Structure 1
């Protein structure tokens, strides 16, 4: 398995580069972070992942292992292949994606070409469960202006989904309660948060 490539950048076209590695030319589809490292005529080292499908082999390039790891998580989600996963990383940085997931920001993902609302909803919901601890820890905290989802909020979210509410409604409501309550939000128990969320959701249905 090819894990990284070092060579001279021969050409940069939109979201791909042509990399000369010891006389062999590799077409590499790149993330936004990887493209930022590439300049024609200069040497670069890219972290890569090679995907082999019925359509043939594709090389995906990343700025670092963090991007590659997130890409691999994204492409485990049903309906998201390598090119769609790379399209997401071409529009967003890793931190942008983590922020969108933490806030259940479905609308953000629909800005990616080829990603519809249902796929965006799956991204928000499934990445919450798929992200490893090392990535989840990098979601900005309240001190950085955005709060990471608490365990209580996760439990309440699951309870609301079991009641028939959808994640696209639940995420914004929990974020609104967090913003309104401030530090008090982190001290709320599951029953109090569930009641507050149900009240907001019911008001939204009127």
Structure 2
């Protein structure tokens, strides 16, 4: 089992990054936030979970070990696989999820594509004693991403990434259009555009 990888970021896409570890490139699926924070050439450690299927081996990874643990625990809920577990962490931080489970806030959980009220209720019941208590909120601010000129077709690429996370095609396209319209700069970094679209989708189903 591969539990951690430390290497140089060799490539970044909208749903994965490639870590060069001693000349071997490992493709790691991760969250939009982690992808937006990563930089080419950066030395990075990812806490990973290898998902084995009959026809594939997929490596999922996160900058913080608690994200990997939550990713693993969420999959213990009946009907939830790695794709939906990753979508949960794209929409909710581990602490947001802990808080939603602790308070029975199924509405917050159903912001995740692929999770309806019944599955959200099941998550509350099955995860209540497994995720732990949420931490106290802090005033720590998140540093904004440095804008970069988007590649041609970046909007379409971001829409495809959202579809891959489980949102319907029209909802994904509308969210990207709104994110582009709301951008204060003419330039926009794809990871930042993806995060903005996710915030838009967070209030809709």
The runs of at least 4 consecutive aligned structure 1 residues that moved more than 6 Å come to none
Which segments of 5 or more consecutive residues in structure 1 lack a partner in the other structure? 145-206
TM alignment of 1:86-165, pairs within 5 A: 86-131=86-131, 135-136=132-133, 138-140=134-136
Q: SS in structure 2 opposite 1:10?
A: strand
Q: SS in structure 2 opposite 1:98?
A: helix
Q: SS in structure 1 opposite 2:128?
A: helix
Give 1:34 deviation, angstroms: 3.4
Which segments of 5 or more consecutive residues in structure 2 lack a partner in the other structure? 140-205
Q: Does 1:11 align with 2:22?
A: no
Structure 2 distance, partners of 1:108, 1:55, is 34
Structure 2 distance, partners of 1:114, 1:79, is 10
Q: SS in structure 1 opposite 2:7?
A: strand
TM-score, normalised with respect to structure 1:
0.61
Give 1:119 deviation, angstroms: 1.3
CA contact (8 A) 1:9 1:20 kept: yes
The structure with more helix, counted as a fraction of residues: 1
1:57 is matched with which residue? 57
2:21 is matched with which residue? 21
Q: SS in structure 2 opposite 1:107?
A: helix
Give 1:32 deviation, angstroms: 4.9
Give the aligned CA root-mean-square deviation in angstroms: 2.0
Q: SS in structure 2 opposite 1:130?
A: coil
Give 1:41 deviation, angstroms: 2.1
Between Structure 1 and Structure 2, whose CA radius of gyration is higher? 1
CA contact (8 A) 2:14 2:32 kept: no
Structure 2 distance, partners of 1:74, 1:60, is 14
Structure 2 distance, partners of 1:35, 1:104, is 30
Q: 1:25-55 CA deviation, whole Å, 9 max, x = no partner?
A: 2111113553354212212111111110124
| Structure of higher RCO (CA pairs closer than 8 Å, 6+ residues apart) | 2
CA contact (8 A) 1:50 1:57 kept: yes
CA contact (8 A) 1:32 1:93 kept: no
